[in-house]
Amino acid sequence: MTSDRLLPYQRLLGGLEAQHRRRRLTGRKGADFSSNDYLGLSQSREVRQIAIDALARGVAIGSGGSRLLRGNDAEHEALEAEAAAFFGVESALYFPGGFTANAALFSTLPQRGDLVVHDSLIHASAHDGMRAGRAECVAFAHNDAQAADDAVRTWRNRGGAGRVWIGAESLYSMDGDRAPLADLMHIADRHDAFLVIDEAHATGALGPDGRGLAGDLEGRENVVTLHTCGKALGAQGGLLCGPTILRDVIVNFCRPFIFATAPSPLMAAVVRGVLALLRQQPQRRHRLGELVAFANRELEARCGMPPSGSHILPVILGSNERAMRTAAALQSRGFDIRGIRPPTVPEGTARLRIAITLHNDQSSVSAMLDALAEAMHRGPA
């Protein structure tokens, strides 16, 4: 029996249950159509060997402290130097995770009196950072560059005099569509603004050498990028890339950096190895590209769903109950596909988020789409 002390929390969970929104941790089971391990690197022989070699040469597993104390390891500094060269930027700063890095950026760099104009579908980590920050924040309609420009002009006309920061993801994690980066860059230049680009779902999988979708913009003084290491790179962590002076501001003022234990030096060594692997094995990206093209084409043909054109395929079903029921049906057929519900996605857009990874091939993708078409044909119960 739930005590009076815990009853309010039980009611919170009961409310989620009634809306088909209660989350539960479940293990890995079935063919992987839900992870972000797009290149299949996390369990690969090559990445295991990178870790083994790093341990053999004495790389530490734990850092033992924050970067500003004794936690700053030679592997951290080597990774940051190599990442800066790889992505073509002045400097990089390694965080334990992409969420932490993104939240740190938005809570630290925009100052009081500044304006953050962000895409309405930007990641939760950016929202957490903005809430902790001091700048005014305004959302613009998803992928609508003109709306971003209008928001800046409106703010200036109201007397806004600070710096403008424009935030977007290069590839959106729940819709799989690309941001109009060239248009946003033009707006940033016109308003003397910074452009912040979250490359989390593009890094490793897209662009020359897997450098993402913002490769032709990186290195500019008014561009800051986030490259996540825990998705297509198959490791862990997040790299903030941009001008050295902004890196130094984060080192001096960012609480999640200053007061947190530094990332594992072993993981930094693994990420270094993976960046080299991206250049050595372009065939992984080519294979992923071919599989993505097949999956997008067949999703439209078999299920009548519009293709995203990327390795993230949203199947929008509307109701929470239908999304979870369809996901359960696919899981029972041996396909690990998860239902995504509000507040992760907007109300009325509960969906399946299908991820195409190199853990599968055309035959398994085809079998999954057959099962999906059958489940969707059944319609609402």
234/292 Cα distance (integer angstroms): 18
Angstrom distances, CA of residue 205 to CA of 37, 96, 188, 277, 284: 10, 21, 26, 12, 9
Alpha-carbon span 32 to 331, nearest angstrom? 10
Contacts 24+ apart (CB under 8 A), 153-158: 155/115, 155/117, 156/191
Q: What is the pTM of this model?
A: 0.93
pLDDT along the chain (381 residues), means of 10: 84 88 84 97 97 98 96 98 98 97 97 98 97 97 98 97 98 97 98 98 97 97 98 98 98 96 98 97 97 97 93 95 94 95 93 97 97 81 45
Distance (Å, rounded) from C-alpha 172 to C-alpha 54? 33
Residue 379 has a pLDDT of 57
Per-residue model confidence as pLDDT tens digits over 314-336: 999 999 999 999 999 999 999 99
Max Cα-Cα span within the chain:
62
Asked if residues 121 and 141 have their Cβ atoms less than 8 Å apart, the reply is: no
Q: What pLDDT was estimated at residue 381?
A: 45
Q: Put the strands of the sheet holding 350-355 in their side by side order.
A: 312-318, 350-355, 338-340
Q: Do 201 and 171 form a contact (C-beta atoms < 8 A)? A: yes
∠ CA 89-92-98, rounded to 5° = 120
Query: β-strand 238-242 against 223-228: which pairing, if any?
Result: antiparallel
**Domains of the chain (ranges, CATH numbers):** 29-42+282-378 (3.90.1150.10), 59-279 (3.40.640.10)
